[in-house]
Structure 1
């Protein structure tokens, strides 16, 4: 993944407003990687706050993202990431040669209640768990 095996991988999650999907993904990756992966999230049109139903859905599974603030996507953030995962931001994310990009097609939790957000949260968790297994295979093997 990275040229320097001692350097931890950096993952950037991007969704339009950085108030829902990318915040949940970052919360899961931060928790599940236990500091072994540098985690960032941002959006090309950041909202003024993380969606309250998203904060509540994550609290349901023991992850507190209540202090997170949506951040603006910068070219530097994309350049510094090893893996860039987009979630519905289309062409608004800059592309750099040699970067790994994935687009996760997920429903947008914006304006939805907690019951609608939970399935989105659970799908994100499944995808993040697979990402951790891929980026940290030794840790996964140790946990077996």
Structure 2
């Protein structure tokens, strides 16, 4: 399996640490999974996925490690574009708030219902249990 992790590979921040720990854990527990990390520049990731689509190097999964202040260039159309012809998309959504309404008011809810799975760090009022998020 080949996984593309869109994260903060060179930033000194919690998102970088999370991505690094995730990468290390995957390599230790699933050495058969090839994980490639790229920066949050939308063009870089989409161009990479696009250039490898249909080849032996195509990705089986894209995981977007998202935080709005660091990855503001990632919008819903990028997720739709990747899902539309390439592979499933998982988003770890680091901007969590108490309710879905706050997410909507701040413009952060676009991943929910678009990505195949959304990971959040704490319960969010309005997200029903059992949905495509954890």
Query: TM-score, normalising length from structure 1?
Result: 0.40
Higher fraction of helix: 1
Query: TM-score, normalising length from structure 2?
Result: 0.43
Higher fraction of strand: 2
